[in-house]
Structure 1
C-alpha cells in the first residue's frame, strides 16, 4: 500500500514542471504566423509556381503551349486583381505610395507593349489571309509583299522583348517591410511581374523569331547553332510559325509544285487558326493587365 501511495505522491510532484510548456507552445504559434496566408494569396502562389514550371518546358513549343501560358497568365492577373480589392491590401499599400507608383509604371508598360503587339498581330492576321489567296493564284508580287511585311512585323515585335525585359527592376527597400503581411504581399506582387515578363517574352520571341531575316554567313551559322543549343525556357520559336518559312515560300515560286503548294496552303490554314487562338489569349491577358493596373491605382486614390 505504501508503494502505491508513493506513486500517487510522485504524480503531483511532476506538476511544477508543466507551467513552462505554455510559453513554448505560444512560441511555436508565433513561428507559424507566416504560413497563415490569406486564401487568395495562397491560390496566387500556386498559380505562379505552375506558370514558372510552364515557362521552362521547351520540349513541346507549340501555339497550344503558348495559349496555355497566356491563359495561366490571365488567371494570375485576375487573382492579383482580387487580392488588390481586399481592405487589408489597401491598408498596407496606402503606406507605400512610392513603390505603388513604380508598380503603376510597370503595368502601364505592360499595357502599352501588349497594345502594340495586338496591332502588329492583327496586321499579320490580315497579311496571312491575303498571302494564302496569292499563293493559290501564284501571285509572286503579292507573296513578296507578304514576306516583306512579315519581316517588318517581326522587327516590331522583337523590339518589345527588350522593352519588357526592363520591367520590374525596382527593388523594395527591406527597411520598409514592417510586418509579415508586408513581406508576403510585396513578394507575391514581384513574382507576378516576373512571370508576366516571362510569358510575354515567350509570346513575342515565339512569333517574331521564325519571321526574322536569316542570312547568316558560315561563321554566323555556327554561332546561331551554338546559341540555339543553349536556349532554354522562353527563348524558342513556336512550331507552327516555323513551318511557314521564307525559304519554303520562295521555293514554291521557283518550282511551282502543285502538291507542295497544297501542303503549304494547309499549313497556312492551320497557322491562321493558331493566330486566332493566340490573338484571343493575348487579348484576354491584355484586359487582365488593365484591370490589375486600375486596382493598383485605386489603392492610392481610395
Structure 2
C-alpha cells in the first residue's frame, strides 16, 4: 500500500478581512476556521477522539458556510461573470466527496464485521471454531481495504493540488463578498483534506502488521509479550490496531485450544471501535450532505 505521508500540521493561515456589511455568520465561520487551523495531525498513533473532535468542528464549519452562501449579501454579490471562480470551487469538492463516501462505506463494512464478532463472542465465548472463521473474514476485509485506501490517498493529493492552486489573497476591498466566500470555501477544503488524510491513516493496516505477507506475524509477537492486557499495548496502536491485537490473541488461543481467552477485554475493544465508527459516520454524513448542498448552492448563484 502507498505510504501515508503525514499531513502538514501547519495549515494555511489567512489574514482576516471580513466584508464590513457581511452576514453575521461570517464572524462565526472565521471563528471556526481559527479553531481548525490549530489542527495537529502529527500525533502517532492518532486516536479516534482527536479525529472525532476535528470532524465535528469540520461538519459545523461546512454547515455555517452553507448558511453564508445562502445569505442575501452573498446572493447579491454573485453574478454569472463569476462562473470561473465558482467552477474552481465546485471542482475542489469532487475529491472530498469521493473520499468522504469511500471512507464512510469502509467504516460501515468494518462495523458489520465488528458487530458480528461481538455477537459470536457473547453467544459462544472465545473457544469456538466459528470465532476463528469470523476473524479470518475480518482480516480478509482489512487487506481488501488497502486498495480503496491507496485510491483515497491519491485522490486527496490531487485535490490538495487543485485547492492550493485556487487560493487567492484575501481581498483588500472589504465590501467584496464574492472573493471572500470563495476563499473561505477553499481554506475549509484545505483543512478538510488534512483531516481526511488522518482519517484514512487511522483506517489503514498498522505498519508493523503490514510488513509481512502473513499480516499478523508482528502483532502476534506483541501479544505473546502481554500487549493484549497492558497499558503499553493501548498506546502502541489506535482503536483499529488494538482490535487487531486482540483478535490475533484470540485466534492463537483458539488454535491452541487455550482456555485463557480474555473475552471481556476483546469485547471492550470491539465495543470501543464500534462507538468510534458510529461517531465518524455521523459526522461524515453531515459533511457529505453539506458538501453537496454547497455545490448546488454555488451552481445556483451563477446560473442565469
TM-score normalized with structure 2 length: 0.71
Cα RMSD after superposing both structures: 3.4
User: Is the 1:155–1:212 Cα contact (8 Å) retained in structure 2?
Assistant: no
The aligned counterpart of 1:108 is 94
The superposition leaves residues 210-248 of structure 1 with CA deviations (integer Å, 9 ceiling, x where unpaired) of: 38951259xxx9xxxxxxxxxxxxxxx972112112544
The aligned counterpart of 1:286 is 288
TM-score normalized with structure 1 length: 0.71
Q: Unpaired runs of 5+ in structure 2?
A: 1-15, 219-235
CA distance in 2, matches of 1:203, 1:265: 23
The 5 Å alignment of 1:92-241 reads 92-94=77-79, 95-134=81-120, 136=125, 137-139=128-130, 140-168=132-160, 169-170=162-163, 171-172=165-166, 179-180=173-174, 181=176, 182-210=178-206, 214-215=210-211, 239-241=238-240
- Find the partner of 1:36 among 20, 23, 35: 20
User: Once the 2 structures are TM-superposed, how far is the Cα of residue 78 of structure 1 from its aligned partner?
Assistant: 1.0
User: Is the 2:52–2:279 Cα contact (8 Å) retained in structure 1?
Assistant: yes
**SS of the residue 2:210 aligns to:** coil
User: Is the 2:243–2:269 Cα contact (8 Å) retained in structure 1?
Assistant: yes
User: Is the 1:151–1:211 Cα contact (8 Å) retained in structure 2?
Assistant: no
User: Once the 2 structures are TM-superposed, how far is the Cα of residue 205 of structure 1 from its aligned partner?
Assistant: 1.4
CA distance in 1, matches of 2:48, 2:25: 30
**SS of the residue 1:55 aligns to:** coil
The aligned counterpart of 2:243 is 244
CA distance in 2, matches of 1:64, 1:37: 38
Greater C-alpha Rg: 1
The number of residues matched between the two structures is 254
The aligned counterpart of 2:270 is 268
CA distance in 2, matches of 1:111, 1:122: 16
Change in 2 beyond 3 A, CA 1:195/1:213: same
Change in 2 beyond 3 A, CA 1:102/1:213: farther
| Bigger helix fraction | 1
User: Is the 1:211–1:245 Cα contact (8 Å) retained in structure 2?
Assistant: no
CA distance in 2, matches of 1:198, 1:49: 15
CA distance in 1, matches of 2:167, 2:191: 21
User: Once the 2 structures are TM-superposed, how far is the Cα of residue 51 of structure 1 from its aligned partner?
Assistant: 1.2
**SS of the residue 2:159 aligns to:** coil
User: Is the 1:55–1:199 Cα contact (8 Å) retained in structure 2?
Assistant: no
CA distance in 2, matches of 1:173, 1:59: 30
User: Once the 2 structures are TM-superposed, how far is the Cα of residue 200 of structure 1 from its aligned partner?
Assistant: 1.3
CA distance in 2, matches of 1:271, 1:173: 37
**SS of the residue 2:204 aligns to:** helix
User: Is the 2:47–2:238 Cα contact (8 Å) retained in structure 1?
Assistant: yes
